[in-house]
Amino acid sequence: MDLRHKRGWMAAALVLVVVVLLAGCSGQEPAGGGNKDAAAGGGGGEQKEASANKPELKFLKVYTNIDYNHYPVADYIEEASGYAIQYDALPQEHASEKLNLIMASGSNYDLVDATNAQDFFTFAENGALTDLTPLIDEFGPHIREAISDESFASASVDGKIYGIPTLNISYVRTGLLIRTDWLEQVGLPMPQTLDEFTAVLRAFREQDPGGNGAQNIPFTMSGTPLIDNVAGAFGLFVDGGAQWSEVDGELVHAANHPALPDYLQYVRMLYEEGLLDAEFATNKGSTAAEKFTSGRAGVLVAGWSSIPGYDEALQKVQPDATYQFLLPMEGADGQKGFLKHGGINKITFVPKSAAHPEDAVKAVNALLEPETFKEMFIGTEGETYTVEDGAYLPIEPAFFDQRGSSNAFVIGMDEDVFETYWQARLRKNQAMYDNYRIVNEVPEEQRVFNPLAFAPYLPQLAASNNQLNSVVRDALIQMVVDGVTDKGIADMQSAWKAAGGEAVAAEINEWYTSR
């Protein structure tokens, strides 16, 4: 046979393997595969030359679903600051672990975003970060102007600024979406008190306005049965993720809140009467949403950021459906309100091992120049947005193509104007924008701030909080399903203690009273 031919082929293959292997592994830029210059087109190389006197900065970001290096904002930043920036990104999973690994082994990043304040403070206390105070004094006039002392305090250790804080917008996140066309059919107005809400749910159950028969669900939800708005009627301002609230100047976990038993009795009643979805405990977020968007449920606990998807689905499935968020409902004692979220979104720091700490601060400073910040965040007037009565309206699709993810590039913010700019992105979807306003434009006293939003790094809290929340969630679900008893409440509280609750309570109250 053609054995010789075969042998030649084999030898050639071996040589090829060695060559490819060497080529693939020797250079910083492997051949083939992920060749980023090829993907970036010709632009990348030229831009780097343009700013020859300014060094290229290396920036470690957190995960978002955009490609930082090829997003339009990255080009703008380079143009406006004169700094070419190479962005790397942490994975979404195990981000903290990886950041620690990178920091522990001596990173060469000039700037790093930390969304986990705990990581930031650990690094700062271990001397891994550059003290930015003198650099900001010298090179950062715009940084000083934009960021309040209060915010700086949340990124400082012993009076030294170790990071540039970026705030979250403060907002009410969740509410109760109710089918207003169902309300009309059962002839009831929007419920304004908890009793009216109960009456509406009963009417939904009895009159079945959706014509769903056995599948009719007056009220559905998923997750922890701590329902924003309903809980507010009992003076309880907590949700599945934020379970600490203030009682008489002291921070108390939901498990120990004096209003919890009454609240729980109410939710139990909803469940027992068949008003609350019998499957609420096993619903995932998407299953609860399915029930609402397919027209089987009358009320859904929902975050407004999910509304665009729901809206599209509901319009298709039930074109006549109308819905909106309920306003805060009044409880027996006249209490009402929502839980408001906010606080630090991330802290950007300069590792001690950074090659260009001065330039890093200069670059951040350049981006916080008010006009630059505006253009970086929302683009150019007439191109990506228009202004109407002081409100910023996006021009589609340019705005969402070029600035839809600009938030990922923000390093510190012009705190006075940020929210006005930010609202432009909510206009992506009218239903979302309208409902955002419903829950976020209620009087200030009805939006109760999560007291831990601006908490510094508290080690006990960081270590045990998830465990506490999940212990309490399980106990709450069990009581809603099996009945609320004094023993059940006591059992929950002792499970909470067993999970380290008391140490956390002591720790956060020490901070809270000395704040």
What is the smallest separation between the CB atom of 33 and another protein, expressed in angstroms? 3
Query: For residues 169 and 417, which CB has a smaller minimum distance to another protein in the complex?
Result: 169
The binder of another protein chosen from 91, 211, 258, 370 (CB under 8 A):
91
Task: Please list, in sequence order, all residues whose beta carbon lies within 8 angstroms of the beta carbon of residue 469, skipping any fewer than 6 positions away.
Answer: 224, 240, 241, 243
Q: 3-state DSSP call for residue 394? A: strand
| The only residue of 122, 293, 335, 464 in contact with another protein, by rule CB under 8 A | 293
**Residue 81 Cβ, how far from another protein at the closest point, in Å?**
20
Q: Report if residue 479 touches another protein, rule: CB under 8 A.
A: no
Position 278 contacts another protein (CB under 8 A): no
Interatomic CA distance for residues 390 and 263, integer angstroms:
42
Q: Between residue 131 and residue 190, which ones bind another protein under the rule CB under 8 A?
A: 168-169, 171, 173
Q: Does 443 participate in binding another protein (rule CB under 8 A)?
A: no
DSSP three-state, residue 416: coil
Residue 348 pairs with which residues in a beta bridge? 113, 164
- Closer residue to another protein (CB): 61 or 257: 61
C-alpha to C-alpha distance for 372 and 82, rounded to whole angstroms = 12
Task: Name which of residues 333 to 372 contact another protein (CB under 8 A).
Answer: 341, 345-346
φ/ψ bin of 248: left (φ > 0), alpha (ψ from -120 to 50), beta (otherwise): left
Choose, by CB under 8 A, the member of 294, 322, 467, 478 that binds another protein: 294
275 counts as binding another protein under rule CB under 8 A: no
- The tokens for 381 are 């007037």
CA contacts within 13 A on the Cβ side of 458: 19
Task: Please say whether the beta carbons of 293 and 286 come within 8 A.
Answer: no
Burial 172-201 (b: 16+ CB within 10 A, else e): bbbbbbbbeebbebbebeebeebeebbebb
Give dist(CA 142, CA 132) in Å, integer. Answer: 14
Smallest distance, another protein to C-beta of residue 262, A: 25
- Supply the minimum distance, in Å, between the C-beta of residue 154 and another protein: 16
Applying CB under 8 A, among 74, 85, 89, 275 the residue interacting with another protein is 89
Q: How far is the CB of 131 from another protein (least distance, A)?
A: 25
* Distance of alpha carbon 111 from alpha carbon 60, whole angstroms: 6
Of the candidate spans 261-269, 290-298, 450-458, 478-486, the one that interacts with another protein by CB under 8 A turns out to be 290-298
Dist CA 224 CA 267 (whole Å)? 12
Applying CB under 8 A, what is the total number of residues that bind another protein? 84
Q: Which is nearer to another protein, 34 or 382 (CB)?
A: 34
Taking CB under 8 A as the criterion, which residues in 22-41 touch another protein? 24-26, 28, 30, 32-34, 36, 39
Q: Which of 282, 286, 430, 513 is in the footprint of another protein by CB under 8 A?
A: 286
- Closer of 171 and 512 to another protein (Cβ): 171
Q: How far is it, in rounded angstroms, from Cα 473 to Cα 496?
A: 10
Instruction: In whole angstroms, give the CA distance from residue 72 to residue 20.
Output: 34
Q: Is 5 in the site for another protein (CB under 8 A)?
A: no
How many angstroms separate the CA atoms of 315 and 318, rounded?
5
**Which region, left, alpha or beta, applies to residue 369 given φ > 0 means left and ψ of -120 to 50 means alpha?**
beta
C-beta of 466: minimal distance to another protein in Å?
10
When the beta carbons of 17 and 278 are compared against another protein, the nearer one is 17
Q: Are 325 and 146 in contact (CB under 8 A)?
A: no
Backbone angles phi, psi at 373, to 5 degrees: -60, -45
| The one among 73, 74, 84, 90 contacting another protein by CB under 8 A | 90
Question: 294: closest CA among 317, 324, 276?
Answer: 317
* Site track 107-136 with another protein (rule: CB under 8 A), x = hit: --------x---------------------
Considering only residues 214 to 253 of the shown chain, the ones binding another protein according to CB under 8 A are 222-223, 240-241
In angstroms, give the least distance from the CB of 156 to another protein: 22
CA atoms of 308 and 287, how far apart (whole Å): 16
One character per residue 53-82, x = contact with another protein (rule: CB under 8 A): -------x--xxxxxxxx------------
CB 59 to another protein: min, Å = 10
Q: Any idea which residue has 């403070």 for tokens?
A: 121
In contact, 168 and 345? CB cutoff 8 Å: yes
Nearest distance in Å: CB 34, another protein? 4
At 465 the three-state DSSP class reads helix
Under rule CB under 8 A, which residues in 390-409 are in contact with another protein? 404-405, 407-408
Binder of another protein out of 126, 215, 282, 315 (CB under 8 A): 315
Which of 174/335 has CB closer to another protein? 174
